[in-house]
């Protein structure tokens, strides 16, 4: 089996995960999210209610979306959970990498800093182009939704 050597992050995939989570959340809140096989909360499982209550004490809840290579950060404000676009990216070099996937300015900043980031992290030209393309696709989606 060939080893996966790509280093780029697929922002379009991450955005699709966020959109799916947002749609499920609108339909049935956190419960609808957790009941979907694409999403899980840390310490989840059958008794997820206790876990939701435990995370409520923290004011936020990380929702794992492994199929999308992200963790969605649900926030609690005035006893209401919200999904506002904040995600943590599962990057190939590890570390914490948080952004608002639905914020044009965050995406533009990523595009503007990508070349330096790619150099610092030994991206191939192909990896750089793939990541740039995915960022541009998300930016185009955000700009078209704005109209």
Q: Is 101 helix (H, G, I), strand (E, B) or coil?
A: coil
List the one residue out of 72, 89, 94 whose CA is nearest residue 19: 72
Per-residue confidence (pLDDT) for residue 25, from 0 to 100: 96
So what's the pLDDT on residue 1?
47
Answer for the pair 132, 114: CB distance below 8 angstroms, yes or no: yes
3-state secondary structure 28-53: HHHHHHHHCCCCEECCCCCCHHHHHH
Q: ∠ at Cα 96 (91, 35), nearest 5°?
A: 75
In DSSP terms, 100 is beta-bridged to 86
Mean pLDDT by 10 residues, the chain (147 residues): 65 96 95 90 59 84 91 92 92 73 96 93 92 97 88
pTM (predicted TM-score): 0.87
pLDDT of amino acid 55: 84
């Amino acid at each position: 089996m060939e080893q996966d050597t790509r280093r780029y992050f697929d922002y379009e995939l991450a955005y699709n995960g966020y959109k799916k989570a947002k749609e499920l959340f609108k339909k049935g809140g956190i419960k609808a999210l957790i009941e979907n096989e694409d999403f899980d909360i840390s310490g989840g499982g059958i008794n997820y209610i206790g876990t939701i209550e435990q995370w409520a004490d923290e004011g936020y809840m990380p929702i794992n979306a492994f199929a999308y290579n992200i963790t969605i950060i649900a926030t609690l404000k005035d006893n209401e959970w919200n999904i506002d676009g904040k995600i943590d990216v599962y990057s190939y070099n590890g570390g914490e990498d948080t952004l608002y996937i639905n914020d044009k300015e965050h995406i533009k900043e990523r595009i503007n800093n990508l070349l330096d980031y790619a150099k610092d992290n030994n991206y191939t030209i192909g990896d750089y182009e793939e990541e740039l393309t995915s960022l541009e696709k998300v930016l185009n989606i955000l700009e078209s939704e704005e109209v």
